[in-house]
Amino acid sequence: MSNTTVYRYRLRVQPTEDVAMPAGARVLSVQRRDHGDGAVDLWAEVDPEQPDATIRVQLVGTGWAEIPAQPPARYVGTVQLGDGFVILHAYVTGDSDTDLERIASALADGTAT
């Protein structure tokens, strides 16, 4: 990235959300800030001159049956809601780090095209 800056994106608290951000973005962190609406914020390194691409954010509660695995997801943070009553773990797919992990995995198992 040549003109990298950090952008903040608001997320709704739901199991899966697709977020448009510049291609090649790298998600840094997901945290809750007290906006009074229960929203969660995501920060990413982006090059604003790049065209938009889609990052998928998945929120998984502690003790839930399944962590996102297909395509491989990368953990980016844990948020506590309701004074710690609800704990959600955030995973992303489609950012620059998960793309690199997917390519490395495909090369390692011989499925790269």
pLDDT digits (tens, 9 = 90+) for 26-84: 999 999 877 677 779 999 999 999 999 999 999 999 887 677 666 678 899 999 887 77
Q: Say if CB 13 and CB 59 are below 8 A apart.
A: yes
Q: Where are the domains of the chain?
A: 5-109
Q: Does the predicted model carry a pTM greater than 0.85? A: no
Task: Please choose, from the candidates 101, 25, 104, 100, the residue with its C-alpha nearest in 3D space to the C-alpha of residue 57.
Answer: 25
CA atoms within 13 A on the CB side of 109: 6
